[in-house]
A and B are shown apart, each in its own frame.
Chain A
Amino acid sequence: MIDKVRVCIADALKLDASLASLITEDTTAADLSGWTSIAHLSLILQLETTFGVRFGNDEIASLGSVAAILEALAQKGADPASD
């Protein structure tokens, strides 16, 4: 699942492949200068489209890290083996 999350982040933040490959479960918004509050909104829509889930508007601010995104996706039943 992290590979798909990595693609979503790279698309939303317009990262090149070399930077995108450095994204891990430990990556937070503070690590990527392009992860702005506006880019974050695009990222959420990208994640929703890719994984077929819907995040509540209230929970979106807490998804500022890869770990939090993976956990939220798992809670919503997104397939953890999905690549």
Chain B
Amino acid sequence: MDGNSDQVVAVCVPQVNVNDLEVTLVGWRVEDGGQAVEDEPLYEVETSKSVGDVPSPASGVLRHVAQPADVVGVGEVVGYVGPSAEAIDHFLVAQSDGGLVVGTRAEKPSDQAVTEDRDATIGAIELARRFGIKLADIPAVGKIRRSDVERYIADRGLVEPGGVERGHAERVSAGRPSAGVEATLPPAMLGLVEEQEALSDHQWAIAQHLTQTQSHLVTACVSMDVVMRAVVEWINAKRQAGVMVGPIPVLLYAVAEAISKTPSLASFRMGQRVYRYRAVHVAYTARSHDGRLFTPVVRDVDQRTLDEVAAEVGRLNMAVFRGSAELADLSGGCMTLSLLSDQPVRSHIGLQNAYQSAILTAGAIRDELQLRDDKPIAVPTLTLTLAYDHGLMDGWQAAECLATIKAALEAVKVS
């Protein structure tokens, strides 16, 4: 079989950008029926932020499902790779007979699901149920996607039972198929408010993303104060030497240590199933020059020295600030760090990103007075807050994670 996969593998869209639930398939790097090679570029996608290649999950014959310009959801199948075209045909026949997809080796769990007699994504099923639409009535080739349901709704001007206005259908037909369903303002409110400019696509993507993510989590928080004297000394020593650093690299470094002791931090839950990331890639929040929020990812934090982490953070910060971050810079984070270090913020609570269970947040480093030998001294202090999925770990475990991070931060050595 010349290195081909011995099973049919679904090519699923990975979470390439935490703020996007859907991406656009720009094009295939391998033609339909051509030979895909594991880890080699297979197709190109465009997110709200960037364009980039996605590698093939396996080697073998490729069967296209999605076509260029298709908008596809994260986790959706865009193609199949198998030992032969015939094997893929047999696989698809078996699947259409009611079996679920087997042998999928996508990086992320697929949202695919089978209901009634049609194969559909979970987003499509959810939307169809809300509008009382039978999946069998929706015209679609292959798996039914949310966009198919939205098109069906828009074409018929359907209104969601229970009070979703026609404006939704109009919005869908106006070319924003990913806009989703919006709440309707109660009539009593109409005299009190006036409509303002709509959210930008970037803001809307973030709002949708976080709304969907939070519905899967049972979020709880725990906070802890950390003495940042060692970190401040490290930052100052670097800056004296003309190296521009902030607290993010040290925090990432400490987070990696906590993940090594409590792998649940790098895991997430989908219902009863638990998944753990294979590598310690940690995301953090950063802003572009025009104020958009991004989450660049430092890869293999646990394999790098602190200076190497700092150098990578510097590179990513500038790439994000310029708006030139690439797909690979923004994908694959197992948890997220969010700092408001330039604001007079003591603490804040973050919202976990998709396929993550934890987010660590902090405000600014502040001076707190402590007594030493009966004399007040200023102690640089930072309050860390860990938001976690209580379905995955409890408060005691979360506090242990914070204690590990605190110990790592207080033990930083000036290199």
- Could you list which residues of chain A lie within 8 angstroms of chain B, going by C-beta atoms? 28-30, 35-38, 40-42, 44-45, 55, 57-58, 60-65, 67-68
Contact = CB atoms under 8 A, between A and B. Distances in A.
A30, A36, A42 — most chain B CB neighbours (10 Å): A30
Interface stretch (B28-36, B54-62, B238-246): B238-246
A29 B242 contact: yes
A64 B158 CA distance: 58
A61 B310 contact: yes
Contacts of A36: 246, 341-342
B244 to A, nearest CB: 4
B317 A28 contact: no
Given A36-B246, A60-B315, A61-B313, 17 more contacts: A29-B239, A35-B239, A37-B244, A37-B246, A40-B244, A41-B317, A42-B289, A55-B318, A57-B315, A57-B319, A57-B324, A58-B314, A60-B314, A61-B244, A61-B315, A64-B243, A64-B245
A77 B310 CA distance: 28
A41 B318 CA distance: 6
Contacts of A37: 244-246, 248, 317
A44 B318 contact: yes
Interface residues of B, number: 27
Enumerate the 9 nearest inter-chain pairs by beta-carbon distance, A residue then B residue, closest first.
Answer: A61-B314, A65-B242, A37-B246, A64-B244, A30-B239, A29-B239, A57-B318, A41-B321, A64-B242
Q: Is the interface of B mostly helix, strand, loop or mixed?
A: helix
Contacts of B248: 37
B236 interface: yes
Interface string B11-29: 0000000000000000000
B334 to A, nearest CB: 23
B311 interface: yes
Q: Is the interface of A mostly helix, strand, loop or mixed?
A: helix
A13 B305 CA distance: 30
B311 A29 contact: no
A77 B245 CA distance: 26
Contact of B244 (A29, A42, A57, A58): A29
Contacts of B310: 61
Interface in B243-265: 243-246, 248
Contacts of B239: 28-30, 35, 64
Contacts of B315: 57-58, 60-61
Given A60-B314, A64-B239, A38 B244 contact: no
Contacts of A67: 242
28 contacts: A29-B242, A29-B244, A30-B236, A35-B239, A36-B341, A36-B342, A37-B246, A37-B317, A38-B287, A41-B318, A41-B321, A44-B318, A45-B289, A57-B314, A57-B318, A57-B322, A58-B311, A60-B244, A60-B314, A60-B317, A60-B318, A61-B243, A61-B313, A62-B243, A63-B242, A64-B242, A64-B245, A68-B242
Contacts of B321: 41, 44-45
Interface string B223-243: 000000000000010111111
A29, A44, A58, A63 — most chain B CB neighbours (10 Å): A29
Contacts of A40: 244
Nearest to A39: B342
A8 B188 CA distance: 53
Contacts of B314: 57-58, 60-61
A40, A61, A65 — most chain B CB neighbours (10 Å): A61
A68 B317 CA distance: 19
A45 to B, nearest CB: 7
A28 B318 contact: no
B246 A28 contact: no
Nearest to A65: B242
Contacts of A57: 314-316, 318-319, 322, 324
A41 to B, nearest CB: 4
Nearest to B314: A61
Contacts of B241: 28, 64
A6 to B, nearest CB: 16
Contacts of A58: 311, 314-315
Interface string B157-179: 00000000000000000000000
Contacts of B319: 57
A68 B318 CA distance: 17
A62 B315 CA distance: 11
A67 B243 CA distance: 12
Given A28-B239, A29-B239, A58-B311, A63 B244 contact: yes
